[in-house]
Amino acid sequence: MYRRPRHWPLFLALAMWLLAMLACGGFQVRVTPTPKPTATATESKPAATVPPAKTTASAPKAEATATLTATSAPSPTVAPTGLAPGAKVRVAASGGINVRDKASAKGKAVGRLNANAVVTLLEGPTQADKFAWWKIDNGAGVVGWAALGPANDPWLVPVAPAAAATGAPNAPKLVDRPIKLGDRVQVTTGAGQWLTVRETAGKTATEKAKVKLGTLFTVRAGPIKQDGLTWWELVGEEVKGWAAEGNGQDRWLTPVE
């Protein structure tokens, strides 16, 4: 005889539960969504801006520059009149000048030079007693100091060109003596003055040329006395004619050796 299983009520209850679960979808696999992270608004402070370092504009440093100064050999002391040691000068004072042992009017007189005497400057100038003094040598034993004189009427005036004044080789040497035929003579007018050479002797004769200080000539004829002056016929490299040797106070022609 058929016998029902012993546990069938349990099986029946289990079956009914399964049916109920299936009817309600109790065994559906549910996908649980993964929660997305919630963006949290964070107040972001702007990064601190570091101000650019202040650049101090400094003035450009001056580059040291070596300045070269041309150094030349010392030149002789030149007086305002253009005189310098070694120059030849003529005594322009009509009464002559005294020569003293020192550059002062209180110096002892060691000699006297007549008007138109030609001397050599040895040293100077030295200022004393409101005058410039020069040490001079006349080549005949008189050596000492003489005053140049006032600026508007100097007692000593240059008679040699620049070449002779600086001691250039073969420069002619002026000599203090009267002119004679055959002499070589040099124009010894004052600085800035010119000697007039004429067609014949005389102030009214036709003018041929004007020659400057230092020009050399050879005496060809003379002397001729005319218009209170002594005239000589001169022959130069470019000029030939007659010229007066001086006016009694100033000597315009001087012999050279």
In angstroms, the CA 211 to CA 193 distance is 9
What phi-psi label fits residue 55: left (phi over 0), alpha (psi between -120 and 50 degrees) or beta? beta
Structural tokens at position 207: 């003018």
In angstroms, the CA 166 to CA 106 distance is 31
Q: Cis omega (within 30 of 0) on the bond before 169?
A: no
Domains detected in the chain:
88-158 (2.30.30.40), 177-255 (2.30.30.40)
Place of tokens 């140049």: 148
Stretch 197-212: mean pLDDT, rounded? 92
The pLDDT, as a whole number, for residue 82 is: 62
Q: For the chain, what is the mean pLDDT?
A: 74
What residues form DSSP beta bridges with 242?
Answer: 198, 233
What does the angle CA 173 – CA 237 – CA 165 come to, to the nearest 5 degrees?
30
Residue of 189, 176, 162, 185 whose CA lies nearest to 246: 189
Kindly write down the DSSP assignment for every residue of 174-235, as one continuous string: B--S---TT-EEEE-PPTT--EEEESSSSTTSPEEEEE-TT-EEEEEEEEEEETTEEEEEEE
Whether 146 and 100 have beta carbons less than 8 Å apart is answered as yes
Place of tokens 């101090």: 56
Q: Which residue has the higher pLDDT, 71 or 190?
A: 190
Stretch 28-57: mean pLDDT, rounded? 50
Is the pTM for the entire model greater than 0.85? no
Query: H-helix or E-strand containing 111?
Result: strand 109-113
Q: Could you read off the pLDDT of 102-113 as tens digits, one per residue?
A: 999 999 999 888
Q: Could you read off the pLDDT of 65-102 as tens digits, one per residue?
A: 333 333 334 444 444 456 788 888 888 886 788 999 99
Distance linking the first and last C-alpha atoms of the chain: 192
The burial of 118, by beta-carbon neighbours within 10 Å (0-12 exposed, 13-18 middle, 19 or more buried), is given as buried
Structural tokens at position 176: 């203090």
Length of the chain: 257
